[in-house]
Amino acid sequence: MQKRKLGNTLEVSAFGLGCMGMSFGYGPAADKKEMIQLIRSAVEQGVTFFDTAEVYGPFTNEKLVGEALEPFKGQVVIATKFGFNIDRAQNRQVGVSSRPDNIRRVAEESLKRLRVEAIDLFYQHRVDPNVPIEDVAGTVRDLIQEGKVKHFGLSEAGAQTIHRAHAVQPVTALQSEYSLWFRRHEQEIIPTIEELGIGLVAYSPLGKGYLAGKIDENTTFANGDIRNLLPRYTEEARAANRDLLDLIHQFAERKNATPAQIALAWVLAQKPWIVPIPGTTKLHHLEEDLGALRVKFTAEELQQFRKEIEAIEVKGVRSFESALVDQ
């Protein structure tokens, strides 16, 4: 398995595994035993980077990841997140909260659920406009000094917020959506983190399945699937975005690859410090995704690909268009 570095210090596999969908977000949770086996199969195939969060479930995904990876302590990197307020009586997320006391509470509870002595990478899940980012970064800095956290991360933060946080506690990675059909971060965010030496962890690199060619306008989503709520996944938007999928198919045929492998290989090709974290609940999809590492583009192919991509207007706003917050 190829390796990449986040923040010049944290070495991980070139691909990570996003674990959210195993427990949360895409309808009923998958079978626990099957997901433990899937996570362990990923380790056997060289994946060392696994992504979860307190809010996924809530809590159940961290417990799953902790149990699955307990035999591999010291061999893998587990990233989790704080930053939401969770109503425990109703077991649901009710707004953001990055108060220092909440960050500390999440850290202590996540350590137990993940069955680790220190959290490898601790992200602020979403920027809290009511808490100065300096207070957030300072709290994580203290947790690092106490040996409870190893690296600090942000998610969906704006450039100004990244600069301010990094000045207090160096940020190892920014996790944000980045894919063939969401490239807005190239305008300001990617130049900012490149300047600061921060890695990018790209979530939804397959557009929640659409860019893999596994969804079309006739696809129906299960109850509880977040795609039922997102404008980019309406029947009309899925039909309107067929041009982008057709372009991906064309490149897939030229490269003797699948659409998913092309979409992932494109993300990998943009910067050597970008690590995509596609999620799946199927072993054959995991193996297909890992096959993207064999797909290489020439500089000319990348230039042509980008030219053709930029000529296509993607319909429907993305998942969290309003989530980029700058303090």
The residue among 68, 65, 52, 49 whose CA lies nearest residue 11 is 49
Residue type, 95: G
Residue labelled with tokens 């959210």: 20
CB atoms within 10 A of CB 186: 11
Contact 277, 311 (CB under 8 A): no
Residue 94 token pair = 């009710």
- Alpha helices, DSSP H, located in 169-221: 189-196
For the annotated catalytic residues, the residue numbers are 56
The residue among 327, 280, 251 whose CA lies nearest residue 25 is 280
What strands, in cross-sheet order, belong to the sheet with 274-276? Answer: 17-18, 49-51, 77-82, 119-124, 149-155, 171-177, 199-203, 274-276
> DSSP code of 327?
-
> DSSP code of 312?
S
> DSSP code of 182?
B
The CA radius of gyration of the chain, in Å to the nearest whole number, is: 19
Q: What is the Cα–Cα distance from 148 to 263, expressed in whole angstroms? A: 36
DSSP-assigned beta bridge partners for residue 84 = 96
Strands 92-96 and 84-87: antiparallel
